[in-house]
Amino acid sequence: MRSRQRMFAAVMRLLLKCLRLGQRRRRFKLVRQAEQLWHYGHLCLRSLLYNSFTNGDVVLDSLFEPVYWLVDHVTRWFGVVFVALVIGLTSSIVAIVYICLLPLILQTYTPAWICWHLAYGHWNLIMIVFHYYMAITTSPGHPPQAKDDLTGVSICRKCIAPKPARTHHCSICNRCVLKMDHHCPWLNNCVGHYNHRYFFSFCLFMTMGCIYCSISGWEMFRDAYAAIERMKLLEKERLQVAANQTYYQTPPPTFSFRQRAFHKSVVYLWVLCSSVALALGALTLWHAALITRGETSIERHINKKEKQRLQKKGKIFRNPYSYGSWDNWKVFLGVDVPRHWLTRVLLPSPHLPHGTGLSWDLPRCVMEQRTPLLAI
């Protein structure tokens, strides 16, 4: 009996040892699996974030990616509001000029000055309206989706489509744009190959129009501002007289609603035109400098980094899309013959730019100048 009990106790002890050993093995196996998962996750994270070209700019762009996303979506939804704002402000200035300033010009100026103001003002207005309409309605140009149509192009990593030279992806339009300069919220459209000239011409003529209104209305602005200050002073005196009025005192005369509206409209016109002339004039000069160098806003940053990279190697960077300052302007404006300066620059013209935006061959106007003359 005792021998059976001893045998049973020995078997039970053996089973307990096996169970403990199994539990230890299972724990060790779980620990090993957890360590393997940790190392695998760490390796995947490093493989996703690893980039041999990573620098401070890349890290900063990654940190600001949520801000970029928010700005892109706000710009996309508020583009129509910005366009309506441009049209509303421009229309208000034109209405003030016709209602308030034009009658004064016709009454006080000489016939020669009247002809000048009428001719220049209406020409400038036509150029502004034409180029703004063309800039917002003309597509900037997009590359074809079929890769067979293009040779020697890269692939856009965002839309997985062919990406020709000078083409960039617009995160707001969510597609690639030929010769993209930037996305303009005031146009609710991208500025690219086919509407770049319209955008710059609109900025130029709008700046000229604002400068013209500011210079022409300077004297009227001074008189209107002085009249408004006089209105405020008389209104204050009228309130004081009304508070202490006696039978021997009469309140000072008040200005009519038409007079108040006239003076405030002149002040509003001059302040708005001067502000737009300063802001838009700076933007126009910046784009004029880019056109002179044969670059876009995006290419300016790319070429700057490429120039710094080649300087470290002792090499000189040359922009392959620049043909010289004068030729760059001729190519941008589409001037092939001298008469085009009148018909295509000083008058509204819907002519297409040089090239298709898919390839960048030497323009005809540049080839004719660079072709050597044969000796007779």
Q: State the average pLDDT over residues 20-29.
A: 63
Res 243 pLDDT > 90: no
Q: State the average pLDDT over residues 283-310.
A: 93
Residue of 328, 374, 316, 318 lying closest to 353 (CA atoms): 328
pLDDT value at position 15?
66
Res 8 pLDDT > 80: no
Domain extents for the chain? 63-370
More confident call, 83 vs 33: 83
What is d(CA 23, CA 29) in angstroms, rounded to the nearest whole number? Answer: 10
- pLDDT interval class at 109 (50, 70, 90): confident
Q: Where is average pLDDT lowest: 77-86, 236-245, 246-255?
A: 246-255
Active site residues: 184
pLDDT value at position 30?
74
Q: Where is average pLDDT lowest: 72-86, 170-184, 308-322?
A: 72-86
Q: Which residues of 321-354 are buried (b: 16+ CB within 10 A; e: fewer)?
A: bebeeebbbbbbbbbbeeebeeebeeeebeeebb
pTM of structure: 0.77
- pLDDT interval class at 363 (50, 70, 90): confident
Helix/strand/coil for 145: coil
Q: State the average pLDDT over residues 231-248.
A: 66
Res 182 pLDDT > 60: yes
Task: Name the helix (H) or strand (E) containing 177.
Answer: strand 175-177
Res 342 pLDDT > 80: yes
Distances (CA, A) of 266 to 52, 66, 102, 214, 338: 60, 43, 12, 10, 41
Q: Where is average pLDDT lowest: 31-45, 183-197, 302-316?
A: 31-45
Res 18 pLDDT > 50: yes
What is d(CA 275, CA 327) in angstroms, rounded to the nearest whole number? Answer: 33
What is d(CA 260, CA 339) in angstroms, rounded to the nearest whole number? Answer: 49
Res 214 pLDDT > 90: yes
Q: State the average pLDDT over residues 202-217.
A: 95
Res 294 pLDDT > 80: yes
Q: State the average pLDDT over residues 345-371.
A: 80
- pLDDT interval class at 373 (50, 70, 90): very low
pLDDT value at position 371?
47
Q: What are phi and psi of 288, to 5 degrees?
A: -65, -40
Res 356 pLDDT > 90: no
Q: What are phi and psi of 170, to 5 degrees?
A: -95, 120
pLDDT value at position 59?
63
The backbone region for 65, taken as left when phi is positive above 0, alpha when psi lies in -120 to 50, beta otherwise, is alpha
144, 150 Cβ separation under 8 angstroms: yes
Res 333 pLDDT > 60: yes
Task: Kindly state the DSSP code that residue 170 receives in the 8-state scheme.
Answer: E
Mean pLDDT of the chain: 82
- pLDDT digits 0-9 by tens, 247-286: 455 555 566 778 888 889 999 999 999 999 999 999 999 9
- pLDDT digits 0-9 by tens, 113-152: 999 999 999 999 999 999 999 999 999 999 887 665 565 5
pLDDT value at position 114?
92
